[in-house]
Amino acid sequence: MKVIIVGGVAGGATTAARLRRLNEKAEIILIERGNFISFANCGLPYYIGNVIKVKNDLLVQTPENFNARFNIDVRVKQEVVKINRKNKNVIIKNLETNEEYEENYDKLVLSPGASPINPFKDLNNNKIRTLRNIEDSVEIKEYIEKNNVKNVTIIGGGYIGVELAENLRNFKNLKVTIAEKASHLIAPLDEDMAKLVYKILTNNDITVILNNGVKEIINKDDKLNIVLEDKKIDTDFVVLCIGVKAEDELARQSGINVYPRGGIEVNERMQTNDENIYALGDVVKIKNCVTGEMSSIPLAGPANKQARVVANNICNIDTNYDGSIGSSILKIFNYNLGITGINEMTCKRNNIEYKTIILSPYSHATYYPGASMLTIKAIYEDKSGMILGAQVFGKQSVDKITDILAVAIKMKMTAYNLEELDLCYAPPFSSAKSPVNLLGNSIVNQIEGLVDTITWQEVESLKDNKDIFVLDVRTNEEFESGNYENAIHIPLDDLRKRLNELDKSKTYLVYCRTGLRSYIACRILTQNGFKVQNITGGYHFYSYLY
C-alpha cells in the first residue's frame, strides 16, 4: 500500500505516524511545502514575545528524526499542484528547482490546513504580515528588533490576535492596538463575557478599537496609515489576524466536494466523495456535536483525533469521527479564558430554547491562601437542564473547570449530573462544593422554580420602570465602595427585620457580590410574598460590564 499525505503539522504528521504504527510495510510519503513538517504553531505568538526563546523548541519533529523513527519519506519544500483522481496520481513541484514529477498512490490524505486571510497582498509591504508558521514568526520578530518598531497594530481580535497583543506588549514594551470589525473580541464568546477580556487588555495598556473594520492601509512616509470605518490610526507595523481560509483549491480543482463557503466535505470516516481520498484538519468542515451543523473548527485537538480516524480507516479499522464542540483555552496576561460548546448566538440561529446563568465562585477554599474569583457562564437547555456551552474566566482552575464542562457537553449531561459529580477536593485545589457542583445547584434551582434570574443587560432595559427596584444586599462596606445607581440597600443579615420597608406590589431585582447572598435574599423575599429576581453574576460581573 502506498499513501501520499499532503501537508504536515498536527493533521498530516500525526496521520503518518499512526499509519506506520499500524502498517510497517506501507510506503508513506509526506509532502510539505514549508521547511518544517511538525511544529507547535500554537506557540508562535510566544516565540515572538520571547517567552519561548529558542526557535527549535517549537519543532515537534524534524524531517530527519521523523524518517529515522517512522521510516516516512518526508519531502519538504515541495508542493502537490494537481490530483489526477482517475489515474490515482499527483503532480508534485519541487519549490527549490521548480521541477515537477509524478507519484501514484493507493490512498491520498489531504491536510494542507488553512491560510491567513490577507486582503492587502497587493501592497507587497514588508510592514504588513500574517502569522502562520515558524518562518513568519522569525521574520516578524526580526523586523521589530531591527527596525526599532515602537507601535504595532493587530487587525483582528480573535485568539491569535489577543495572544499576539499580549506577547508584543510584553516584548520590548511595545505600544499595541487591536482593531476589530465586530462588536466584541473572541468571536465564540458572548458579548457580556467578552467585556472581561476587553477590560484585562485595556488595563494592560493595550488599545482596543471595536466596531471598526479596516477599509484601507496607506504608506505614509515611514509609517502605515490605517483607515478604519470611522477613524484613522498611524502605526509602524501591522499583523493581520483577520481569520483563516481553508486551502481547498487543490481539492476543488480535482472534483472533490467542497462547501460553497469553503472547506472540504467529508463523511464520518473522514473520506471525501472519492473513497481513496481522505481529508482532515483546518481544510475540512466537521459536525458541531451540539447543533449538528457543519462548521470549521481550526484547532489542533480535533485535527489530531481526525488523524487517528483517517489512519485507522486506511488500515481497515472502521472508525468514525463524531464531531467537535470546539473546546479552547486562552491566556490573557494573568488571566485565563476557557470556552466549550456553543454560545447564545448559535442557540438563537438554531432556534434552541436556552437559558444562561453566571456565577463567580472561588478557585479553591477561601481560607487557604491564594484563592481567586472565577466567572463562569453556562448556557443550558431550558427545560432539561442539558449543558450546551460554557465560558470560564479567571486566574486559576480555568482549564480544569472548562475541561469538566466539555466532558459534560460531549456526554449530554444535565445540571442534575453536575450536582452529583464526585470531584477532587483539598483546600489548595478546590472547595468541598466544587464550582462545577455549584453551577449544577444554581441551574437546578432555576429549573425547579426556587429562583428566577435576570441579567444586568435586562436590568438596564428596565431602569425606567417605576414598579421595579434594584436591591443591594451586600454589607455596608461593600455598598460604599461602589453600587448600582439608585439601588435600595439592605444588608442580607438585616433583611428579615426590615421587610416592612419593601412594597409587595413592586418587583425587586436583587444582587450581591457574586449571586450567592442574593439567592438567599430571594428565597427570604419569595417566601414572604414578594416578587423577586436574582441578578446573575452579581456586582462583580457588573463591574466588568459597565
Per the domain annotation, does 322 fall within a domain?
A: no
Per-residue pLDDT at 61? 77
Residue ending a domain, among 279, 314, 349, is 314
Output the pLDDT for position 293. Answer: 94
Whether 185 and 222 map to the same domain: the answer is: yes
Query: Is position 128 within any domain?
Result: yes
* Same domain for 443 and 500: no
Q: For this structure, is 289 an active site residue?
A: no
Per-residue pLDDT at 22: 98
Distance separating alpha carbons of residues 138 and 129, to the nearest angstrom? 12
pLDDT score of 287:
95
Could you tell me which residues come within 8 angstroms of residue 369 by beta carbon, excluding any fewer than 6 positions away? none
Is there a single domain that holds both residue 308 and residue 335? no
DSSP code of residue 229: S
> Given this model, what pLDDT does residue 290 score?
96
Residue 277 lies in a domain: yes
Residue span of the structural domain in which 227 resides:
121-242
Residue of 42, 289, 424, 512 marked active site: 42
Give me 319's grid cell: 472508525
Q: Is 380 found in the same domain as 349?
A: yes
The count of structural domains within the chain is: 4
Cell triple for 453: 434570574
pLDDT at residue number 492: 98
- Whether residues 17 and 130 fall in one domain: no
Q: Is residue 130 part of a domain?
A: yes
CATH number of the domain enclosing 434: 3.50.50.60
Indicate if 266 and 291 belong to the same structural domain. yes
In a shared domain, residues 437 and 344: yes
Number of helices and strands in the chain (H, E): 16, 33
Q: Do 242 and 156 form a contact (C-beta atoms < 8 A)?
A: yes
Amino acid at 244: V
pTM, entire model = 0.93
Residue pLDDT, tens place only, 117-129: 999 887 778 899 9
My answer on whether 151 and 238 are in the same domain is yes
Instruction: Classify residue 231: in a domain, yes or no.
Output: yes
Can you give 106-156 as a three-state secondary structure string? CEEEECCCEEECCCCHHHCCCCEEECCCHHHHHHHHHHHHHCCCCEEEEEC
Residues of the chain short of pLDDT 50, as ranges, are: none
What pLDDT is stored for residue 420 in this prediction? 97
Q: How high is the pLDDT of residue 113?
A: 93
Q: Where are the alpha helices (DSSP H) in 281-374?
A: 300-314, 344-349
In a domain, 49, yes or no: no
Pairing type for strands 244-246 and 237-240 reads: unpaired
* Rounded Cα gap, residues 64 and 56, in angstroms: 14
Residue where a domain terminates, one of 212, 242, 272: 242
Q: Which of 289, 287, 245, 255 lies closest to 270 in space, CA to CA?
A: 287
Q: Are residues 176 and 231 in the same domain?
A: yes
CA angle 256-260-213, nearest 5°? 135
Sequence-ordered list of residues with C-beta below 8 angstroms from that of 463, at least 6 positions apart, any chain:
none
pLDDT value of residue 254:
96
Judge if 352 and 443 occupy the same domain: yes
Residue 47 lies in a domain: no
Domain identity same for 179 and 76: no
Q: Are residues 232 and 93 in the same domain?
A: no
Of 422, 447, 472, the residue that ends a domain is 447
Q: What does each C-alpha distance from 224 to 127, 216, 237 come to in angstroms?
A: 8, 10, 7
